[in-house]
Copies of this chain bind each other. A is one copy, B any other.
Amino acid sequence: MELRTLAERVAEKFPVRERDLRRTFEALLTTDNLWEVLDLTDIPIMTFCELWKELAQEGLVEVKDSSLRLTPKGRELAAFLEITPLRDFACPRCKGRGIEIEPLKEVAEEFKAIARSRPEAIRDYDQGYVLEEVTVARVALMWQKGDLAGLNLMVLGDDDLVSVAASLTGAPKRVTVIDIDERLLDFIQKVSDKEGLKIQVLKHDLRYPLPEELQGAFDTFITDPTESFKGMKAFLSRSLSCLKGPGSAGYFGFTRREASLKKWQAIQKFLLEKGAVITDIIDDFNVYANWPYMESMRAWEHLPARALPQKEWYKSAHYRIELLEKPGPDTEVFPVDLYDEETATV
C-alpha cells in the first residue's frame, strides 16, 4: 500500500499530498479526538473530511464512540511505514508564540473584564474571536516590533477587540477601528467613552475601498481576514492602502484549518507584488474561542464524528509584513459575499 497512490486518488478532488496523509496517520497515533486531529494535521477541514472517507473506504480508519481510530490494518500500515506519534515542543509558558504577556498583566486584567460583555460571534460576518490572552499578545508583539508606541494604528474588523487592548496600554498615538457590524462598533464606542480611550470608530464595508481620508494615514494595520481568496484580497488591499508607505507595518492572521497552502502561496505572491515583504509568520499564534454557530458550518455534515469540541482547536498563523514600496492605488470593488463559505474553504 503506497501512501502516494492514496494521496493521488484524493488529490483528484482536493489538494492532498503524501505528506498530508503521513501527518494524518501521525495525528491518529497521537490522539483519537477529532478536533485535536484537525488541529494537528494542518489540512483544510473539507480536505480532511474527503481524505477520511477514502481512508475509511480502504478500511484503514474507523469511528468508535465519536473517537477517531486507525483500524488494525491502518496500524499495520503505519508500522510498516515507520510512522510514529507527533512530538509537541511548544513552549509551555508562551504556548509557542514567543511572546511574554506578564509585563502587561494589568492591561490584560482590565481587558478581560471589558471583554466579558462583548457581542457574541455571529456567522453573517464569519466572526470568531481569539482568546483574550491572544489579543494581548498581538498588542505586545506590535509594541516590541516598534509598530505601536507613538504611532497611528488601524484595526480593520475588530471582533477580537484589538483596538481596546491596544488603547489600554496608552502606547499608540491614535487608534482607529472600521467594521461592518454595528453591535461591535457600538460596544467599542461605549468602552472607549467609558474608559476615555479616544478610539475612532467607523462603519465601513470592506468590499469597497477606504474613504480617502483613511488612505495613506496609518503606520500600522492589524486585521483578521476571512479565508476566501477574494475576501482575503479585499481585506489586505484595504489594509495596505491605509498605510503611509515604506516602513509601515501590518499584521494579520491566516489559517490552515480552512485555507490550503496553495492559497497561502497565492496570498504571499500578492503581498510581494504589492511592495510588501514578509518579516514574520508565527504558527498557531492565534487561538480562537469555539464559536456558537459551529453546527451550521458547511463542513459540519461531512465530519467523521459530530461531537462539539471541548477545547480550542481552531488556530491561525500570525503574519507581519513591512512595506518597501507604495502598494499603488486601491480601487477594486468586490461585489460578492466575502464571507461565502463555498469560496472560503480550501
Contacts and interface: CB of A to CB of B under 8 A. Distances in A.
Size class of the contact patch on chain A: 35 or more
B277 A268 contact: yes
Contact of A100 (B90, B100, B281): B90
A91 B100 contact: yes
Given A18-B247, A99-B96, A322 B261 contact: yes
A264 B149 CA distance: 25
Interface in A113-149: 140-141, 143-144, 146, 149
A92 B96 contact: no
B280 A283 contact: yes
B101 A98 contact: no
Interface string A274-314: 00111111110000000000000000000000000000000
Nearest to A23: B146
A173 B82 contact: yes
A213 interface: no
Interface in A11-33: 17-20, 22-23, 26
A93 B94 contact: yes
Nearest to A101: B89
Given A17-B246, A84-B150, A140 B89 contact: yes
A335 interface: no
A261 B248 contact: no
A103 B87 contact: yes
A150 B322 contact: no
Contacts of A278: 264, 268, 278, 281
A265 B281 contact: no
21 contacts: A18-B246, A19-B246, A19-B247, A82-B173, A84-B171, A86-B144, A89-B99, A89-B103, A90-B100, A90-B144, A91-B94, A92-B93, A92-B100, A94-B94, A96-B98, A97-B98, A262-B277, A262-B324, A265-B276, A265-B277, A268-B277
Interface of A: 17-20, 22-23, 26, 81-84, 86-94, 96-101, 103-104, 140-141, 143-144, 146, 149-150, 171, 173, 246-249, 261-262, 264-265, 268-269, 272, 276-283, 317, 322, 324
The 10 closest A-B pairs by CB, nearest first: A19-B247, A91-B94, A17-B247, A96-B98, A265-B277, A89-B140, A93-B93, A82-B150, A98-B98, A281-B281
